[in-house]
Amino acid sequence: MLKSFIDVDEESHFPIQNLPYGIFRPKGKTAPRAGVAIGDWILDLSILDDKGYFNETGAGGKRVFSEPSLNAFMNLGPNVWAEVRTVLQDLLREDNPEIRDQADLRDSLFSRQSGVDMLMPVEIRDYTDFYASEQHATNVGTMFRGRENALMPNWKHLPVGYHGRASSIIVSGTEIKRPLGQRKTEGDQPEFGPSMRLDFELEMGLVIGHGNESGSRIPVEEAEEHIFGLVLVNDWSARDIQAWEYQPLGPFLSKSFATSISPWIVPMAALEPFRTAGPKQDPEPLPYLKGSGDQTFDIHLEAHLKIPGLSEPVVVTETNFRTLYWSMAQQIAHHTVNGCNLNAGDLLASGTISGDEKTSRGCMLERTWRGEEPLQLPNGEKRVWLEDGDELRLTGWCQADGYRVGFGQVNSRILPTQVEETKGGSRDAVLSEKG
């Protein structure tokens, strides 16, 4: 088994087999730069680049690792990604003295993860959110339409999705404020105020590394070549705002206030040993969606809820990426079949990932079955929806013999919305600057 001279615990998400990419800023420095995670450390790619270690790759001389995002590197394409990964794994091997035995060089190259600020890894150009979990779609459909009509007639014929808001995608650790909007009431008239049914959605997202020209399409068998890597995604949802606004055009303000992603992008090469088959698709997809071979990955996923007054977070959900009905390749093929162009930095999220068991449901809407089955917490409290001060932590990893390839965490704490009296005497809700 490949090992690094950097000491890495067996349960670390970042062994030499992973080497995920991110953008970081060391404390006391202003310039962001690219790095890879290895154990508890970050290897500074900008310094390696300046010292010529990538000169024999397609990234040589382009200074892509000194950029404040990974977009320029991603645009170089899969052959260059593979070349850079080969250089990094060779330099980090336990039997390679190149960096291992040069103390000054080693000290300049490595920063502790605990001592840096992690930034957005990519400049998100566009954002699409899919609805790819059959269990999730069935559960939600059953709540609102009954078991016999749970899935809409089109659901098993195409990957359903909607166009999200790229500007409000935030990196892990960024706090969110409870959103405002129109909420559905029992009658036909809405009320305005802060969402009272705030929810999380446990998702994965793929980051497009290089795209396609407008008017062209990406065949399903070539789709994975366009994926730079995967991130964890928490697609926050205001269910009461969503219930009022979604007809006839779908989610809008109920989704666009925040979507959190993890700071590390796990490359496709690191996931390859965990490739597996997805669910059987019936009916058979149309030819442009019909892929071959194993098209998904065995990624264990968890959602943890940390509430004020509770010392340890509670595991709310345990599920797996492999349960998704529609694969990433099928999502890309469908997205581009009409000639839609994708670009480096585009984020395509899976939609909520749910399994067959109650404990594998990937959001509070499902987990509490629309509020009928509240979560019982160890301190005696109950949760139906998320409350102010709650923190959600999503994590995930692939497990091998002796190591795991993980995604780290995506976490965020919920801040309150303050309701104040306006000068005109009417009550209006405004975001509190104090949180």
Kindly give, in sequence order, each residue whose CB lies less than 8 Å from that of residue 186, ignoring residues fewer than 6 positions away. none
Residue with tokens 């995002």: 69
Neighbours of 360 (CB within 10 A): 19
> From the candidates 136, 226, 334, 335, which is the catalytic residue?
136
Q: Are the beta carbons of 319 and 350 closer than 8 angstroms?
A: no
Give residues with Cβ within 8 angstroms of 390, minimum separation 6: 305, 306, 307, 308, 383, 413, 414
Which helix (H) or strand (E) covers residue 62, if one does?
none
Q: 205 near 340, Cβ under 8 Å?
A: no
Beta bridge partners of 392: 305, 412
What burial letters (b/e) apply to 22-42, b meaning 16+ CB within 10 Å? bbbbbeeeeebbbbbbbbebb
Residue of 370, 145, 429 whose CA lies nearest to 240: 370
CA 302 to chain centre: 13
Residues 234, 229: Cα–Cα separation, whole Å: 17
Specify which residues 98 forms β-bridges with. none
β-bridge partners, 1: none
E strands of 258-364, at which residues?
259-261, 266-267, 275-276, 296-297, 300-306, 314-320, 347-349
Establish whether 136 is a catalytic residue.
yes
Instruction: Point out which residues pair with 73 in neighbouring strands.
Output: none
**Cβ neighbours of 170 (radius 10 Å):** 18
Cβ contact 21:121 at 8 Å: yes
148 DSSP 8-state letter: G
What's the rounded Cα separation, in Å, for the pair 389 and 413? 6
**Separation CA 65–CA 48 (nearest Å):** 9
Local structure of 151: helix, strand or coil: coil
CB atoms within 10 A of CB 434: 7
Integer Cα distance of 317 and 305 in angstroms:
9
Q: Which helix (H) or strand (E) holds 32?
A: none
As annotated, the active-site residues are 136
